[in-house]
Amino acid sequence: MNDERRIVLILNSYLKSNELYIVNKTLLMNQLVKKSHELVMGKFSFSLLELRLFSLIVSMIDDRDEDFKTYKIAVKDIMKTFNLKSKTIYAEIQQVTTSMLKKIIVIPVQEDGIQKEIKSTLMSSFKYEVSGRGVIEATFNPILKPYLLQLKSKFLLYNLSNILQIGSATSIRIFELLKTFE
């Protein structure tokens, strides 16, 4: 089956279920990450795996979405995409998702000429299928809608594969900050 056919099948599945379940590493690698400049300028501290996982989930957002959906990802696809070979990957993913739910981002905003800060978590929940296929269901915090959905200006866009070879979370953050100047 060629890549175009796989994409059509996945998109058809997406349109029917209103959820996206990525099953192809090539498709994952070609996903586009789109974030508002304000979100990129936010202050937060993620590990390398946390930042990659967040970017992967962001890449699953459709430009036409008006609201967040539940984004499904198989752990085996995370392993392939991020080239992870740990025997304890399922436990690591559970630990990473728990950690992500505890992390706070501080987003600088300008409202009526007054500088303010929004403090929030990036993710609202992770559901983990313990028995069976090892699938994560991720949900964004609704407060992030203006920073991830329906972006028309002041956003950055890059291919997910651009950050997969970067070896530290700090370097990914610098890459994203530099992308805001393009």
CATH number for the domain that contains residue 153: 1.10.10.10
> Residue 55 falls within a domain, yes or no?
yes
pLDDT of residue 8: 42
146 φ, ψ (degrees, to nearest 5): -70, -10
> Residue 150 falls within a domain, yes or no?
yes
Burial track 84-122 (b if 16+ CB lie within 10 A, e otherwise): eeeeebeebbbebbeebeeeebebeeeeeeeeeebebbb
Three-state secondary-structure class, residue 160: coil
pLDDT of residue 28: 56
> Residue 8 falls within a domain, yes or no?
no
Each of the 182 residues of the chain gets a pLDDT tens digit; together they read: 545 445 444 444 444 444 444 444 445 556 899 999 999 999 999 999 999 999 999 999 998 899 999 999 988 888 888 888 877 888 888 999 999 999 999 999 888 999 999 999 999 999 987 776 789 999 999 999 999 999 999 999 999 999 988 999 999 999 999 999 98
Show the domain range for 41: 20-179
> Residue 141 falls within a domain, yes or no?
yes
pLDDT of residue 79: 87
Q: What is the pTM of this model?
A: 0.82
pLDDT of residue 76: 86
> Residue 64 falls within a domain, yes or no?
yes
> Residue 5 falls within a domain, yes or no?
no
pLDDT of residue 12: 44
Domain count along the chain: 1
pLDDT of residue 132: 67
